[in-house]
Amino acid sequence: MFSLEHITNSIQQWLYSTFSPTMALILECAIVMLLVIGLFATLGLVLVLMERKVAARMQIRLGPNRVGPKGILQTTADTLKLMMKEGLTPNGADKFLFNLAPFIVMIAAMLILAPIAFAKGFQIWDINIGVLYVSAVSSVSVIGILMAGWASNNKYSLLGAMRSGAQIVSYELSAGLSIISIVVLSGSLQISEIVASQQTGWWLFRGHIPAIISFVIFIIAVTAETNRAPFDLAEAESELTAGFHTEYSGMKFALLFLAEYINIFIVCAIGATLFLGGWMPLHIGNWEGFNHTMDYVPSSVWFMGKTFFLIFLIMWFRWTFPRLRIDQLLSLEWKYLLPISMFNLLLITLIAIMGWHF
């Protein structure tokens, strides 16, 4: 059976048998770095293409269909174009911060990738406070956005960045509380253990209605955190032209754009890990035959399938809903989502303590 775990293990064995331990560690780091960058590039291309195709499908049109077979090379061509373009820095901008901002956003996105379990035994860093690490690092990107907005010397950018700051900081709370509810159920902060705790069934199904509520809140909160419609106020193009990245062009724009899609991937991966069992196959109670068949599907496919399902969900929102207004956005969080998720956490704690979950 295809398994990424065997490949990584054999590579590691070969490295340690050929080189000294320090050298092997360095080589491992280099390989991981290359893989992450490769994953970033591919994910960027795939997700942008997927977005355009999904959008086209919802809008009764074809989408990209000229470059390459069925247009799959369109995003590659776009990336090439963005690389060739001149990276302008506007007059009066704070040059240092302006150029730094895309990298901060990008680095924050890269860092969160570390504890994510892509398949069984295929994880860069199985840190014991994985979930905490993710929520901590994901807040760093807001600094990059604020920096981009402030340094651009553009009023639209400034407004967009301020909106984004208010939005991300608020919705972090709900997202955090939803994550905590799963931590309470599984009793661990470590990603691998959270996945392992879902061996008998996904938390979404095992945690009764409170788990479903926290899943819904999680999806809403992460949509807001990644600045996606209907919460895309930071770049609301009909109000602020392009919000915080109005003044960016060329590769610096591409980095911000890429980071947005990587962030979507990451939050969906976290969602899939916490609520949909990560790489765990779908198991239903005592259906031995069914469960056995499901085990034959490689764990990486399970993980990617779940993640892309959630990504599709978020894209679906984007192409269906109008945008909220800033005060509605904040009152939704502070007046509705936060109290609900707090109460929900209480229920989940009760369920976990009494052992009422399946």
Partner 1 sequence: MYRETQIIEADNKADGDDLVINVGPQHPATHGVLHLVIRLQGETIQKVEPHLGYIHRSIEKMCESLSYRQFIYVTSRMDYLSAHINNHACAMCVEKALQLEVPPRARVIRVLMDELTRIASHELWWGAMAMDLGAFTPFFYAFRERETINDIMEETCGARLTMNYMVPGGVMYDLHPNFQQRVKNFIQLFNNKIDEYDDLVTGNIIFQNRTKGVGVLTKEDAISFGCTGPVGRASGVSCDIRKLYPYEVYDKVSFDEIIEMGGDSFSRYLVRIKELRQSIRIIEQLIDNIPEGDIQAKTKAVLKLPKGEFYSRAETARGELGVYIVSEGGTTPYRIKFRSPGFSNLSALDHISRGSKIGDLMAIMGTLDLVIPDIDR
End-to-end CA distance of the chain: 30
Q: Which of 18, 136, 328, 336 binds partner 1 (CB under 8 A)?
A: 328
Nearer to partner 1 by Cβ, of 9 and 328: the residue is 328
According to the binding rule CB under 8 A, does residue 60 interact with partner 1? yes
- CA distances to 15, 264, 301 from 10, rounded to whole Å, are 9, 32, 21
Stretch that binds partner 1, among 5-13, 14-22, 201-209, 313-321 (CB under 8 A): 313-321
- Under rule CB under 8 A, how many of the chain's residues touch partner 1? 29
Q: Exposure string (b/e) for 313-350, b if CB count within 10 Å is 16 or more?
A: ebbebbeeeebbebeebbebbeeebbebbeebbebbee
According to the binding rule CB under 8 A, does residue 241 interact with partner 1? yes
According to the binding rule CB under 8 A, does residue 55 interact with partner 1? yes
Stretch that binds partner 1, among 71-79, 152-160, 248-256, 306-314 (CB under 8 A): 152-160
Query: Is it true that the peptide bond before 230 is cis, omega within 30 degrees of 0?
Result: yes
Q: Which of 118, 122, 156, 279 binds partner 1 (CB under 8 A)?
A: 156
The least distance separating partner 1 from the CB of residue 254, rounded to whole angstroms, comes to 21
Nearer to partner 1 by Cβ, of 61 and 84: the residue is 61
According to the binding rule CB under 8 A, does residue 238 interact with partner 1? yes
Nearer to partner 1 by Cβ, of 237 and 285: the residue is 237
According to the binding rule CB under 8 A, does residue 314 interact with partner 1? no
Q: Which tokens in the block code for residue 337?
A: 């989502």
Nearer to partner 1 by Cβ, of 50 and 159: the residue is 159
The least distance separating partner 1 from the CB of residue 63, rounded to whole angstroms, comes to 12
According to the binding rule CB under 8 A, does residue 326 interact with partner 1? yes
According to the binding rule CB under 8 A, does residue 229 interact with partner 1? yes
According to the binding rule CB under 8 A, does residue 237 interact with partner 1? yes
Q: Which of 230, 250, 298, 305 binds partner 1 (CB under 8 A)?
A: 230
d(CA 316, CA 58): 8
According to the binding rule CB under 8 A, does residue 239 interact with partner 1? yes
Nearer to partner 1 by Cβ, of 50 and 240: the residue is 240
Q: Exposure string (b/e) for 240-254, b if CB count within 10 Å is 16 or more?
A: bebbbbbbbbebbbb
Q: Are 79 and 45 in contact (CB under 8 A)?
A: yes
Q: Which of 327, 353, 354, 355 binds partner 1 (CB under 8 A)?
A: 327
Q: Which of 240, 274, 314, 347 binds partner 1 (CB under 8 A)?
A: 240
The least distance separating partner 1 from the CB of residue 165, rounded to whole angstroms, comes to 13
According to the binding rule CB under 8 A, does residue 168 interact with partner 1? no
d(CA 349, CA 180): 10
Q: Which of 9, 13, 199, 320 binds partner 1 (CB under 8 A)?
A: 320
Q: Are 306 and 313 in contact (CB under 8 A)?
A: no
Q: Are 120 and 4 in contact (CB under 8 A)?
A: yes
Residues in the chain: 358
According to the binding rule CB under 8 A, does residue 91 interact with partner 1? no
Residues found near partner 1 in the complex (CB under 8 A): 55, 58-61, 155-156, 159, 163, 229-230, 232-233, 236-241, 319-328
